[in-house]
Amino acid sequence: MITPHGSATLNPLYVADPAARAALAKEAESLPALLLNSAAAANAVMLGAGYFNPLPGYMNLADMLSVAEHMRTAAGLFWPVPIVNLTGDTAAIRGQARIALRDPNLPGNPVLAVQQVDAIEEVGEAQLKQVAEKIFRTLDPKHPGVATFMSLGRHLISGPIQVLNFSYFEKDFPDTFRTAMQIRDEINRRGWRTVVAFQTRNPMHRAHEELCKMAKEAVKADGILIHMLLGRLKSGDVPAPVRNAAIRKMVELYFPPNSVMVTGYGFDMLYAGPREAVLHAVFRQNAGCTHLIVGRDHAGVGGYYGPFDAQAIFEKEVPRDALKIKIFGADNTAYSKKLGRVVMKRDAPDHTAEDFIDLSGTRVREMLSRGEALPVEFARPEVAAILMKYYQSEAARAS
pLDDT at position 100 is 98
pLDDT at position 256 is 95
- Local structure of residue 204 (DSSP, 8 states): -
Give the model confidence (pLDDT) of 83-118 as tens digits. Answer: 999 999 999 999 999 999 999 999 999 999 999 999
Residue 387 near residue 246, CB atoms below 8 Å: yes
- 202 in active site: yes
Catalytic one of 201, 243, 284, 380: 201
pLDDT, mean of residues 367-381 = 93
Catalytic one of 21, 154, 193, 202: 202
Task: Say what angle helices 61-70 and 125-136 make with each other, to 10 degrees.
Answer: 40
Smallest CA-to-CA distance from 82 within 234, 276, 230 is with 276
d(CA 246, CA 289): 23
Asked if the peptide bond before residue 141 counts as cis, ω within 30 degrees of 0, the response is no
Q: Find all residues with CB under 8 Å of 218, minimum gap 6, and list them.
A: 328
- 165 in active site: no
pLDDT at position 233 is 78
Give the model confidence (pLDDT) of 60-75 as tens digits. Answer: 999 999 999 999 999 9
CATH topology for the 18-167 domain:
Sulfate adenylyltransferase (3.10.400)
pLDDT at position 232 is 82
- pLDDT above 80 for 236: no
d(CA 140, CA 301): 12
pLDDT at position 235 is 75
pLDDT at position 248 is 96
- pLDDT above 90 for 360: no
Smallest CA-to-CA distance from 43 within 279, 385, 383 is with 279
Backbone angles phi, psi at 251, to 5 degrees: -65, -40
Lowest model confidence (mean pLDDT) among 11-25, 229-243, 247-261:
229-243
- pLDDT above 80 for 390: yes
Torsion (CA) 264, 268, 271, 274 in degrees, nearest 10: -60
Q: Where are the domains of the chain?
A: 18-167, 171-265+271-398
- Local structure of residue 177 (DSSP, 8 states): B
d(CA 261, CA 177): 11
- pLDDT above 90 for 396: no
pLDDT at position 212 is 97
Give the number of other CB atoms < 10 A from CB of residue 165: 21
Backbone angles phi, psi at 121, to 5 degrees: -120, 140
pLDDT band at residue 196, thresholds of 50, 70 and 90? very high
Assign domain 171-265+271-398 one CATH number from 3.30.70.120, 3.40.50.720, 3.65.10.10, 3.40.50.620. 3.40.50.620
Give the model confidence (pLDDT) of 299-311 as tens digits. Answer: 999 999 999 999 9
Residue 180 near residue 197, CB atoms below 8 Å: no
